[in-house]
Amino acid sequence: MKVVRSVAAMSRLAAAWKNCVVLVPTMGALHEGHLSLIDRARRAAGREGTVVVSIFVNPLQFGPKEDLSRYPRPLRRDLALCRERGVDLVFHPDADEMYAPGRSVTVDESLLTGGLCGRSRPGHFSGVCTVVAKLFNLVRPHAAVFGQKDYQQLAIIRRMVRDLNFPLEIIGSETVRESDGLALSSRNVYLTPAERAEAPVIRRALLLAGKRVRAGERDAGILRGVIEKELAAAPLGRVDYAEVVDAETLQPVARVERPTLLAVAAYFGRTRLIDNLVVSLK
């Protein structure tokens, strides 16, 4: 497995590749969720293809009060996991390598970023779009794999690829969960034992609302109330948002009449967790 640190070296390698290349962008601190993305990338690339994993803690997507300095960076472990999973190349640049001094160009999306995490974390998705666009230009993949846990991010990246005509496929991969339903996240390590015990309430709240949809409930306000009531049963949790939005446009809906996203963000201590569930009438 090759490890590349420089932008110039990554660009030279990408220009010479002739086979199918699939990229998995990450910020490191890899867990089974990330490894499932790598496995999905290998299936897409085939035995003769090239799987590239980027490990880059992107400063542009952290707000001034967020946990950039605390974000875990277990590089040796991450590289060992990538090697075990059959990754062909890890791109691991420094921030100074990725961003030129005095940089003045960013990539912004103006519709899908307005609500959910975009409202709670202003500037976050501009940072995501900017770094992902740079990775696409440097690695030149035929496809890239993103997890569905970060549903809004996945929708925004799909829109960026469509609107800017990036010549690649975006592959969404299922959320990987602990046995009690908690979505895997690099931030889960920050939870205290008591917070970790309560955190699965997020998944329970979403499933309860989804059950109400299957039983015939269509009113978004009632579904939002179901979610909020269940979340309130966790005294250590603090709800950032509980939303019912269109699964494609991410705009709020009054009624469930087509594929709809139930989305939650909640704090347990200083740790912000997100999860979602897509419901439909079928």
Residues with a known catalytic role:
34
Number of H helices, E strands in the chain: 10, 9
Task: Classify burial at 37, counting beta carbons within 10 Å of its beta carbon; exposed 0-12, middle 13-18, buried 19 or more.
Answer: buried
- DSSP of 207-262: HHHHHHHHTT--BHHHHHHHHHHHHTT-TTEEEEEEEEEETTT--B-SB--SSEEE
Q: Where are the beta strands (DSSP E) in 29-100?
A: 50-55, 89-91
70 contact partners, CB below 8 Å, separation of at least 6 = 190
Task: Classify burial at 48, counting beta carbons within 10 Å of its beta carbon; exposed 0-12, middle 13-18, buried 19 or more.
Answer: exposed
CB 155 within 8 A of CB 248: yes
238 contact partners, CB below 8 Å, separation of at least 6 = 266, 267, 268
Three-state DSSP class for 278?
A: strand
Report how far Cα 186 is from the mean position of its chain's Cα atoms.
11
CB 180 within 8 A of CB 200: yes
Three-state DSSP class for 51?
A: strand
